[in-house]
């Protein structure tokens, strides 16, 4: 009986720790020039660190271009984008929560 209780307690503690890690993780914001757009990915040359940052784009990702609702396919290489990404990774890439793009000036 004590073994089952101990196991249940350990599983509960582990689940809470995982939830707190993902819930407490801050979103990351990346800004820069779009260098690639795929079927469900976008890559931005990040102004902050000069790296190419790739993101998974899901059906939940909110996408705008020039202030209007848009599809990923409407974003072009050379556009300027701000990507808000969750700290959770999928396929080795951060997941884009929101993409706000604009044509270069």
3-state secondary structure the chain: CHHHHHHHHHHHHHHHHHHHHHHCCCCEEEEEEEEEECCCEEEEEECCCCCEEEEEEEEEEEEEECCEECCHHHCCCCCEEEEEEEEEEECCEEEEEEEEEECCC
What structural domains and CATH numbers belong to the chain? 27-102 (2.40.50.140)
Report the alpha-carbon distance of residue 89 to residue 48 in Å, rounded: 20
Return the pLDDT at 25: 59
Return the pLDDT at 16: 46
Q: Are residues 34 and 46 in contact, defined by beta-carbon separation less than 8 angstroms?
A: no
Return the pLDDT at 64: 97
pLDDT tens digits, 12-50: 545 544 544 545 457 889 999 999 999 999 999 999 889
| Least confident span in 7-11, 19-23, 73-77 | 19-23
Q: What is the pTM for the complete model shown? A: 0.73
Give the residue-averaged pLDDT of 70-97: 89
């Amino acid at each position: 009986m004590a073994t089952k209780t101990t196991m249940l307690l350990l599983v509960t503690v582990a689940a809470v720790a995982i939830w707190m890690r993902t819930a407490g993780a801050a979103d990351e914001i990346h800004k820069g020039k779009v260098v690639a757009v795929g079927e469900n990915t976008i890559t931005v040359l990040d102004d902050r660190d000069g790296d190419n940052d790739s993101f998974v784009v899901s059906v939940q990702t909110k996408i705008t271009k020039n202030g209007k609702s848009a599809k990923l396919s409407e974003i072009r290489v050379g556009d300027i984008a701000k990507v808000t990404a969750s700290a959770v990774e999928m396929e080795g890439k951060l997941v884009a929560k929101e993409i706000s793009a604009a044509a270069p000036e």
